Every structure is written in structure tokens, then in C-alpha cells.
Amino acid sequence: MSCVTVSRKGQVVIPAAARKALGIESGSQVDVTVVDGKLQIELRHPAKASSHEAGYGMLKYCGPARRLADADVAELMRREQATR
């Protein structure tokens, strides 16, 4: 059994050994209930695996179409230094 401290916001850290034993990872959801005067925490479902590709298309660019290959990096740096 591990002793944890409750923060001002009511948050607690689940000890690493318990997280590992239950497969609790960042993004996992747990159900917290009170049973016979005790807190019970159950893993709702494991966190879904994610990749950088999963975020593709989340941000929208409304400017003119641009390609990185068309950018003149030296010119962009000169402009940036001129505005300082």
C-alpha cells in the first residue's frame, strides 16, 4: 500500500507501480467511486495509441498556398532582422 498526498486541487498521483500493473498511461480514463467508505479507482479503458499522423489536419491554414521548397530562407531571415 502506498501513501499519497492530496493537492489543493484534490489531485493525487497514482504510484508508478500501480499504474504499470493496471496499464494506466497518460490519457487513460478511470472511474472513481466510493464503496463502503473507501475510494475505488477502476481503469475504464486503456489509452489509445497515438502517433504524429493522428494530428494531421487538426490545424487550418487560411493564408496563401505555400510550399517549403519555394521559401527563400535567407530572405525571410533578412526581413525578420529588419523588423527588430
pLDDT of residue 46: 66
DSSP-derived letter for residue 70 is G
pLDDT of residue 37: 95
The answer to whether 42 touches 18, Cβ cutoff 8 Å, is no
The pLDDT mean for the chain works out to: 85
- 3-class DSSP state of 44: strand
Domain map of the chain by residue range? 16-48+55-82
Distance CA 7, CA 66 (A): 48
pLDDT at 47 over 70: no
Q: How many CA atoms lie within 13 A of 34 on its CB side?
A: 1
pLDDT tens digits, one per residue of 2-35: 899 999 999 999 999 999 998 888 888 999 999 9
Give the predicted TM-score (pTM) of the model.
0.50
